[in-house]
Amino acid sequence: MAQFFKPQKKTVAKGKQQLTIDTLNHEGVGITRVNNKVGFVEGALPREVVLASPTQTKAKFERFSVSKVIKPSEFRVKPFCTHYNICGGCQLQHLAPEQQLVEKQKAVNSLFEKFLGDANTDLNWQSAIDSQPLTYRRTARIAVFYDKNKKEYLFGYRQKGSKKIININNCQVLESCFSNIFEVFHPLLKRLKTGQSITHLQLYRTQDQALIIIRHIRALSENDINLLSSEADKNGWKIVLEGETGQYEFSDKHASTQAVINNKNIHLLHYDINEFNLKFNFSFDNFIQVNHKVNGLMLKQAIDWLNLKSDEKILDLFCGIGNFSLPMAQRASSVVGIEGVASSVEMAKFNAKNNQIENARFFCQDLNESMAKAKWFNEEYDVLVLDPSRAGAFDILSQLKLKRFARILYVSCDPVTLARDSKLIIDAGFKISKTGLMNMFPHTGHVETMALFTKS
């Protein structure tokens, strides 16, 4: 009797599936097809074969996490952080740094194909603005939670895929001045009598100081404040207290530079952009870019790409404290900056005056509302610059008469809304002239992109 070879069936743990990964999406998550649906596989890389555990099942998609890598990618590397498997801060440490940019560029291409179609997706990619892989974060928030049942403090970041706080021993992406923040503060919290009032720390590395804002919901005792200040002084940090009223108070009365802005006494911090000889003041309530080096290179690239002429007028939407407005005002006839946060508008005006820039005006306006009656909206401009939040700029782009602009520069922190909004711009008669990634957040799923549009 003939014997036929029967291959052994692969044994797979209950609920787990063997999957082959096709690509990464714009959040750095592996994509495959499974059960006639899209499969999102956390921790997987393109062309890998993995054993994955299901975490969510929906009608149109399923989510998985990698249990075992059967066939690894050539670009898979060992994560440098001991907390990587549980911390929600980074998503791509398992992918070689140089390949992170390659995969992010592919993801942006896919999104443009989805929104624009193949005929409009020649993005003319330029070299990416890269970042140092470690010690790049000049701001960060660290959570503090007191577990009453265990009578212990949790001090760190959110757990991956959860709101739970996990203890962190170190974080190598923080600027080096904060390298020992966890080993100093975790044991320090246990020594405080009123430490349970503290909800989180906000770190700021400014041009000349390392600041720690301690946010607390009830008053801290004088002894605790002195203890916090003493430990901070040993490490070159300045303590700032933010209590129930939302007011900021430096523990060292001489550590703060202050100014009266719009009839309010404001604590001033600052960063310099040496390329443009500009000093940007900001307060604790203002948004600034996390990666100082990439921010400077981003501004330089924007100026280079726009090639501004001295007689051109610029409209800068979502202008913040003037990060793009002021360098452009040095080269153009005039700049009008629009921002929805009143405190940022006041700071932009202060920065213009402080840098002796007289051809920049700033207005506070919610750019999701109707602009028809706004005086600035009906003025003539040559160049449009946009730097919106993740929500994008669809509402304001839908209202603007885009054809009156010669060039449009879009700086994006979300490639989905960038691709969506780009269709409006292209439909108005523009083409994509240049596109480039900015590695603002290495090892994460964040994708920062700059796109220049010119008349087609």
Residue 120: predicted pLDDT: 65
**DSSP output for 47-106:** T-EEEEEEEEE-SSEEEEEEEEEEE--TTB---S-TTTTTBSS-S-TTB-HHHHHHHHHH
Please choose, from the candidates 331, 449, 442, 330, the residue with its C-alpha nearest in 3D space to the C-alpha of residue 390. 449
Length of the chain (residues): 456
**pLDDT attached to residue 336:** 98
Alpha-carbon distance values, 146 to 29, 151, 200, 377 (Å): 33, 7, 11, 50
Which of the residues 81, 90, 319, 413 is marked catalytic? 413
Rounded-to-integer distance, Cα 65 and Cα 29, Å: 10
Q: How many CA atoms lie within 13 A of 52 on its CB side?
A: 29
pLDDT for residue 14: 53
DSSP string, 353-392: HHTT--SEEEEE--TTS--TT-TGGGS--SEEEE---TT-
Q: List, edge to edge, every strand of the sheet that includes 210-216.
A: 165-167, 152-158, 139-147, 198-205, 210-216, 237-242, 248-250
Q: Look up 171 and say whether it is catalytic.
A: no
- In degrees and rounded to multiples of 5, residue 226 shows phi and psi of -65, -40
pLDDT at 263: 79
Regarding beta strands 30-34 and 37-42, do their DSSP bridges make them parallel or antiparallel, or are they unpaired? Answer: antiparallel
Instruction: Give long-range contacts, CB 8 A cutoff, 24+ apart: 305-310.
Output: 305/409, 305/433, 305/434, 305/450, 305/452, 306/383, 306/385, 306/407, 306/409, 306/452, 308/332, 308/383, 309/382
pLDDT at 245: 83
pLDDT, one tens digit for every residue, the chain (456 residues): 344 344 444 433 458 999 999 999 999 999 999 989 999 999 999 999 999 999 999 999 999 999 999 999 999 999 999 999 999 999 999 999 999 999 999 999 999 999 998 766 789 999 999 999 999 999 999 999 999 999 999 999 999 989 999 999 999 999 999 999 999 999 999 999 999 999 999 999 999 899 999 999 999 999 999 999 999 999 999 999 999 888 898 877 666 788 888 878 888 999 999 999 999 999 999 999 999 999 999 999 999 999 999 999 999 999 999 999 999 999 999 999 999 999 999 999 999 999 999 999 999 999 999 998 899 999 999 999 999 999 999 999 999 999 999 999 999 999 999 999 999 999 999 999 999 999 999 999 999 999 999 998
